[in-house]
Amino acid sequence: MAINFSGEFIAPRSPDEVFDFLSDPNQFAPLLPDFQSMSMQDPTHFSVKVKVGVGNIRGTAELKMELAEAVKPVRAQYKGQGTAVGSQVTVTAGFDLQPEGENTKVLWKGETSVFGKLASMAGGMLEPLGRKNIQKLIDGLQSALSAPSTVAPSTSAGSPVGETQGSPTAGTAPDETITASTSAEGTHGNDDTSAIR
């Protein structure tokens, strides 16, 4: 099952500043809903753990992530794969940046594919929960990018290699959780969502 998402929002920062934020895993990863921890292998490879809860299914997703593309100040893309509750999960999340006066338009798109037990047992619940978590991530990004650029949002942005701990997103019920790939907040734009079975 593949779930696709896309949308856009305006960030009150320059494309350079937005790119620097989005291309830094130490700042980006902790915004994932139900984030638990991350560890950096090098500046572009890291692992993330997030809680997973769909219906009665509970567990942890462990994803190996890569900053697969970083073209300053126009594009940043992450790719990852891992396991969650006995299932294989692959994710992509890309951000294209366009100057808009003194601001930056952020066009984003992502895809999550789930194969195995989680897809067969959760079925139709995955798409709406994925959409809800995508909205959480995007709202988190917008909030972080609206804060003064000297403030690093809820992370240890100074250490390129290490581990960052976090707690589940406030207000998220256990069964409103999915994988790191789909986490997000507040879609402002086209919510182009489709499920492929």
pLDDT in tens, 90-116: 999 999 999 999 999 999 999 988 888
pLDDT for 113-131, tens place per residue?
Answer: 888 887 787 777 888 888 8
Residue 97 and residue 69 in contact, taking contact as beta carbons nearer than 8 Å = no
User: Which residues have C-beta within 8 Å of that of residue 8, sequence separation ≥ 6?
Assistant: 105, 106, 107, 108, 188, 189, 190
Q: What is the CATH number of domain 2-196?
A: 3.30.530.20
Cβ neighbour number for residue 90 with a 10 Å cutoff? 17
Residue 37's pLDDT band (cuts 50, 70, 90): very high
